[in-house]
Structures are given as structure tokens and as C-alpha cells.
Amino acid sequence: MAGDNVTHVTDSDFDQEVIKSDLPTLVDFWAPWCGPCKAIGPVIDELADTYSGKIKITKMNVDENPETPGKFGIRAIPTLIFFKNGEVADQVTGAVGKTQLVAMLDK
């Protein structure tokens, strides 16, 4: 099933799942009511399958987890933040194409 390799993270397990992750981690900050978020959903699922074992792909529902997006100054969704060694390595906002996301992850 698509999306099996996507981890859903919350405010309470964000540090454990993302900051302390051994793998570089992409976090998709989204909400159920956000059209562009739904549009890139399948791309995120695809990337999770493609990069399985190399890069951890996670999603965070900003409605249910207001603390973490606030910490990273997220004002618009979807916002994708790429973490490497617990630090922000890259960030994109908006429904970007797969090509742009692959370029960010391959850097």
C-alpha cells in the first residue's frame, strides 16, 4: 500500500523521530483541509518508497500538533523541511513538484 514508509510524527515524538533520527529526515507539515497538501501527498508517498532505508519521510498534522510548526516558524502549508543530523538542511513551502523534492533530497 502507498505510504507505508511514511511515519506520522507528533509534537511529543518529534525530537525522537526527527531530530535524533540516524537517517536524514524529511518532514511534511500538512493539514487535512489543505488542498495543495493533498496534491503533494502521493508524491510524498512515492518518495518514501523510493528512499526507504536512506531517508526517513514523515508527516505532521499541524492542526493536531501546533508546537513544532511554531518552533520552526511555519506560516504556510504544505511546508517541507529536510533535517540532517538534527539540523534544518533545506526547506520548501507550497505544493512543489517531485523533481524539486528529489533535487533537495539528493543534495
| Active-site residue list | 34, 37
Cell of 48: 518514501
Long-range pairs of 30-35 with CB within 8 A, sequence gap ≥ 24: 30/59, 30/60, 30/61, 30/62, 30/77, 30/78, 31/61, 31/62, 31/63, 31/77, 32/61, 32/63, 33/63, 34/77, 34/78
The phi, psi pair for 81, rounded to 5°, reads -120, 130
Name the DSSP class of 18: I
